[in-house]
């Protein structure tokens, strides 16, 4: 592998030298954040290239009010709450799903919404609520499950819909304008569904480069090289180095499922507030599957921990070591914020792979925010 990697690293260094100034790129997706650390790529980057992590970890961006609603649902009599494993430990105002499970609530970890549907079939007398989190990668499966539940007349299956859309969040970040970014390394998984053309507003309206890449070291480096080349040439285009996996148009079947079952809605993001048309709620025809409607639960307000700076972390405003709680009050053992909980969270990745490395970018992290030239 080294034989293929070394020339790419050299090319990246060459391109960055050519640009001369500091370049700041955002890897949008949590999987990229972790993969960059895990493969040691961050240690190979040129000094004037900085990568900041974006709002692409589904656990990290789920609003606290939705966690609180999930906990409230899980404690309703008879309810089985089915969730992906990494939501278990995310702290809400009244503890976490893990804590209410320990106190007797029936919280089941599932790896697929289809397992939740199966639970609803097995326990026909009990309401089964699926905690629908994730971006366009997991949302089509939730949509398919809702349709399946409808077809088979399952009356006890419900969804707490917290699905989010990637591009509106990128636009919101750029519109806020306080994080200087030259371009985005766009996530392979999400792009399989939405297609590379979905990023055209980023290049057209905001003039930032976007390159879609996979998660292998070679893919990520190819993506970074392509981004830096665009910066060097003063271009802003959507490029795709994950060809063969990601198409221009995306997955038509999955997109049709989303269109049928969901409508885009203004949605709260953890620490980012409400972003217009950035989330998915159930379309009127499927509202009977909406857990909040069925149980009459109104999500409350968000009240973040005063020490937590996850919101700034997932928007690239600070790096985890700049948070006073990082690796001190907030660790994976007792996380304060969701970025430390999720295996894909930026803080967890820094804690796990970067903490304490000699001469590493972790402890000697400089503030982000140097103006874009």
Partner 1 sequence: MKTTTVGAVHDRIVIAHGGGGELMGRLIREHILPPLHNPHLATLGDSVVLPWAGGDLVFTTDSYVVTPIEFPGGDIGRLAVCGTVNDLAVMGAVPLVLSLGLILEEGLPLAVLDRVLASIAATAREADVQIVTGDTKVIERRTTGDGASPTASPGLFINTAGIGRLRSGVRLGLERVVAGDALLVTGPIAAHGLAVMSVRSGLEFDSSLRSDVAPLNGLIAAILDTGADVKFLRDATRGGVAGVLADICDASGLSLVIDEARVPLSVTARHAAEMLGLDPLTVANEGCCVAVVGGGDAERIVRVCREHPLGNQAAVIGEVTDSRPPLVELVTRAGGRRVVQRPYGEELPRIC
Please report, as ranges, the residues that interact with partner 1 according to CB under 8 A. 1-2, 5-6, 9, 31, 34, 37-44, 58-59, 77-78, 80, 84-88, 101, 104-107, 109, 111-112, 115, 123, 126, 133-135, 137-138, 189, 217-218, 221, 331-333, 342-344, 351-358, 360
What is the C-alpha separation between 314 and 320, in angstroms, rounded? 10
Q: How many helices (H) and strands (E) does the chain have?
A: 16, 11
Least separation in angstroms between CB 133 and partner 1:
7
Least separation in angstroms between CB 139 and partner 1:
10
Which CB, 209 or 330, lies closer to partner 1?
330
Least separation in angstroms between CB 283 and partner 1:
22
Which CB, 101 or 317, lies closer to partner 1?
101
Strand pairing report for 273-282 and 262-269: antiparallel
Number of Cβ within 10 Å of residue 125's Cβ equals: 6
Number of Cβ within 10 Å of residue 216's Cβ equals: 16
Number of Cβ within 10 Å of residue 83's Cβ equals: 23
Which CB, 156 or 342, lies closer to partner 1?
342
Which CB, 138 or 203, lies closer to partner 1?
138
What is the C-alpha separation between 9 and 207, in angstroms, rounded? 26
Which CB, 97 or 179, lies closer to partner 1?
97
Least separation in angstroms between CB 50 and partner 1:
16
Least separation in angstroms between CB 5 and partner 1:
5
What is the C-alpha separation between 313 and 53, in angstroms, rounded? 7
Closest CA to 69 of 310, 273, 302, 351: 302
Which CB, 80 or 258, lies closer to partner 1?
80
Six token digits for residue 220: 């990520």
Which CB, 106 or 150, lies closer to partner 1?
106
The CA-CA-CA angle for residues 238, 244, 249, to 5°, reads 50
Q: Which residues contact 37 (CB under 8 A, 6 or more apart)?
A: 349, 350, 352, 353, 354
Least separation in angstroms between CB 79 and partner 1:
9
Residue 181 DSSP one-character state: -
Least separation in angstroms between CB 339 and partner 1:
14
């Amino acid at each position: 592998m080294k034989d293929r990697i070394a020339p790419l690293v050299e090319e990246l260094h060459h391109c960055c030298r050519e640009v001369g100034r500091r370049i700041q790129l955002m890897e949008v997706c949590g999987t990229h954040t972790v993969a960059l650390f895990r493969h040691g790529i961050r240690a190979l980057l040129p000094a004037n290239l900085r990568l900041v992590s974006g709002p692409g970890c589904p656990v990290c961006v789920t609003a606290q009010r939705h966690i609180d609603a999930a906990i409230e649902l899980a404690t309703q009599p008879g309810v089985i709450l089915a969730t992906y494993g990494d939501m278990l430990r995310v702290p809400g105002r009244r503890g976490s799903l893990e804590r209410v499970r320990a106190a007797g609530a029936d919280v089941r970890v599932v790896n697929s919404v289809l397992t939740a549907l199966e639970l609803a079939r097995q326990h026909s007398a009990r309401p089964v609520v699926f905690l629908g989190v994730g971006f366009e990668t997991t949302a089509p499966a939730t949509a398919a499950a809702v349709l399946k539940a409808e077809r088979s007349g399952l009356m006890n299956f419900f969804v707490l819909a917290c699905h989010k859309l990637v591009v509106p969040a990128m636009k919101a970040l750029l519109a806020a304008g306080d994080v200087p970014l030259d371009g985005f390394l766009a996530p392979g998984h999400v792009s399989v569904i939405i297609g590379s053309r979905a990023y055209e507003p980023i290049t057209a309206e905001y003039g930032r480069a976007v390159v879609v890449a996979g998660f292998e070291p070679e893919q990520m480096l190819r993506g970074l090289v392509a981004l830096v080349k665009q910066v060097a040439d003063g271009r802003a285009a959507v490029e795709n180095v994950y060809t063969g996996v990601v198409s221009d148009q995306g997955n038509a079947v999955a997109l049709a499922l989303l269109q049928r079952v969901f409508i885009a809605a203004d949605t709260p993001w953890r620490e980012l507030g409400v972003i217009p048309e950035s989330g998915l709620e159930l379309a009127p025809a499927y509202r009977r599957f909406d857990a909040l409607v069925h149980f009459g639960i109104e999500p409350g307000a968000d009240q973040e921990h005063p020490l937590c700076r996850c919101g700034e972390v997932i928007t690239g405003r600070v790096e985890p070591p700049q948070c006073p709680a990082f690796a001190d009050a907030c660790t994976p053992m007792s996380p304060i914020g969701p970025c430390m909980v999720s295996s894909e969270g930026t803080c967890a990745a820094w804690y796990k792979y970067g903490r304490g490395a000699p001469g590493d970018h972790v402890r000697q992290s400089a503030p982000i925010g140097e103006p874009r030239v």
